[in-house]
Chain A
Amino acid sequence: MTAHDHHAHSLPSRRGLLTMGAGVSLAYLGGGAAFGQAASTKKKLVVIICRGAMDGLSVSPPVGDPGYAALRGGLAIRPDATLKLDSTFGLHPALKATYALAQGGQARIAPTVAIPERIRSHFEAQDLLESGGARLYGATTGWLNRTLAALGPTHPMKALSIGPQEPLILRGPIQADSWSPGGRVGASTTRIATTLQDLYKADTLLGPALAAGLAVEAQADVLNGGTPLKGNDAKAFADTAARFLIADGGPSIAVLNVDGFDTHANQGAETGLLANRLGLLDQVIDGLHRGMGAAWNDTVVIVATEFGRTARVNGTGGTDHGTASTLILAGGALKPGGMIGDWPTLAEAKLFENRDLAPTLDIRSVFKGVLGDHLGVDRRALDAKVFLDSSAAAAVQGLVRA
Chain B
Amino acid sequence: MPRTDTALNASIAATRFGMGARPGEIALATSDPQGWLQAQIRPEGADAYPGMTKEEAGQAIQNFRFAVRDMKSEAAMKPTAISNDQGAGPPSPGAMPTMAGGAMMAGAAPMNGMMAGAPGQMAGPEGMRPNGKPALSDIQMQRQALYQPVAQEAQREILGRAQLAASTDASFRERWALFWSNHFTTAGKNQEMRLLSPVFEREAIRPHVFGRFETLLIASSTHPGMLAYLDQQQSVGPGSVQIQRAAMRQGPRAKAGLNENLAREIMELHTVGADGGYSQADVTEFARALTGWGIAAGQPIDGPIPIGSAVFRDVRHEPGARTVMTRQYGQAGSEQARAVLIDLAARPQTAHRLCLKIAAHFVSDTPDPALVAKLEAAWKRSDGDLSQVALALVRAPESWVPPMRKLKTPYELVVSSYRAAGAQPANVQREVMGPLTSLGQRPFDAPQPNGWSDQAMVWAAPDAVVKRLFWAQSFAGAYAPQGDILAAANEALGARLAPVTATALSRAESRPEAYALLIMSPEFQRR
Contacts and interface: CB of A to CB of B under 8 A. Distances in A.
Nearest to A16: B463
A14 B460 CA distance: 9
Contacts of B449: 1, 6
A2 B264 contact: yes
Nearest to A217: B466
A209 B465 contact: yes
B274 A3 contact: yes
Main secondary structure of the interface of B (DSSP, over half): helix
Contacts of B508: 191-192, 195
Contact of A14 (B462, B509, B510, B522): B462
Interface string A1-30: 111011011111110110001000000000
A11 B458 contact: yes
Nearest to B462: A213
B32 interface: no
Contacts of B465: 206, 209-210, 213
Contacts of B264: 1-2
B461 A199 contact: no
A352 interface: no
B517 A196 contact: yes
B265 interface: yes
A189 B470 contact: yes
Interface in B501-520: 501, 504, 507-510, 512-513, 516-517, 520
A193 B469 contact: yes
A273 interface: no
Contact of B469 (A11, A196, A199, A208): A196
Interface string A197-231: 01110110110111111111100000000000000
A369 B520 CA distance: 46
Given A214-B466, A214-B469, 19 more contacts: A1-B230, A1-B265, A11-B447, A11-B459, A12-B464, A14-B461, A16-B463, A191-B508, A193-B469, A196-B517, A196-B520, A198-B504, A199-B522, A202-B522, A203-B522, A209-B461, A209-B462, A213-B463, A213-B465
A188 interface: yes
B461 A192 contact: no
B346 to A, nearest CB: 23
A8 B466 contact: no
B461 A11 contact: yes
A205 B407 contact: yes
Interface of B: 230, 261, 264-265, 268, 274, 407, 440, 447-450, 453, 456-467, 469-470, 473, 500-501, 504, 507-510, 512-513, 516-517, 520-522, 525-526
Nearest to A11: B440
Nearest to B230: A1
A191 B509 CA distance: 9
Most buried by A among B274, B466, B522: B466
Nearest to A186: B473
Interface residues of A, number: 40
A78 interface: no
Contacts of A202: 522
B265 A210 contact: no
Interface of A: 1-3, 5-6, 8-14, 16-17, 21, 184, 188-189, 191-193, 195-196, 198-200, 202-203, 205-206, 208-217
Contacts of B459: 11
Contacts, number: 119
A16 B463 CA distance: 9
A213 B265 CA distance: 35
A8 B450 CA distance: 11
B200 to A, nearest CB: 17
Contact of A192 (B230, B516, B525): B516
Contacts of A200: 522
Contacts of A184: 470
A216 B470 CA distance: 14
A13 B461 contact: yes
Contact of B447 (A8, A21, A189): A8
A3 B517 CA distance: 40
Contacts of A17: 461-463
Given A6-B450, A196-B520, A200-B522, A217 B501 contact: no
A13 B459 CA distance: 9
Contact of B453 (A9, A13, A14, A213): A9
A359 B459 CA distance: 45
**Chain A contact residues: helix, strand, loop or mixed:** helix
A214 B462 CA distance: 8
Contacts of B265: 1
Given A1-B230, A191-B513, A192-B473, A205 B466 contact: no
Contacts of B466: 210, 213-214, 216-217
A1 B464 contact: no
B407 to A, nearest CB: 7
Contacts of B470: 184, 189
A203 B500 CA distance: 14
Nearest to B461: A12
A210 B467 CA distance: 10
A188 B500 contact: no
Nearest to B130: A228
14 contacts: A1-B265, A11-B461, A12-B464, A12-B467, A14-B462, A188-B510, A188-B516, A191-B509, A192-B469, A199-B504, A202-B522, A206-B407, A213-B461, A214-B462
Top 3 A-B pairs, shortest CB-CB distance: A213-B462, A213-B466, A212-B462
B503 to A, nearest CB: 10
Residue picked from A16, A198, A203, most chain B C-beta under 10 Å: A203
Contacts of B501: 199
B525 A206 contact: yes
A201 to B, nearest CB: 9
A267 to B, nearest CB: 25
Contacts of A205: 407, 456-457, 460
A245 B465 CA distance: 32
A16 B457 CA distance: 15
Nearest to B526: A203
Given A1-B230, A3-B274, A192 B513 contact: yes
A212 to B, nearest CB: 4
B412 to A, nearest CB: 15
Nearest to A5: B448
Contact of A189 (B230, B450, B458, B473): B473
B274 to A, nearest CB: 5
A361 B357 CA distance: 61
Contact of A188 (B447, B464, B513): B513
A357 B385 CA distance: 71
A1 B263 CA distance: 11
B461 A206 contact: no
A212 B462 CA distance: 6
A3 B268 contact: yes
B524 to A, nearest CB: 10
B459 to A, nearest CB: 8
A78 B467 CA distance: 45
The winner among A1, A3, A205 for most chain B CB atoms within 10 A is: A1
B409 to A, nearest CB: 11
Contacts of B407: 205-206
A199 B261 contact: no
Contacts of B450: 6
Given A192-B469, A213-B466, A9 B458 contact: yes
A202 B523 CA distance: 11
B464 A209 contact: yes
B48 to A, nearest CB: 28
A12 B522 contact: no
A399 to B, nearest CB: 39
A191 B516 CA distance: 11
Given A213-B464, A216-B463, A206 B504 contact: no
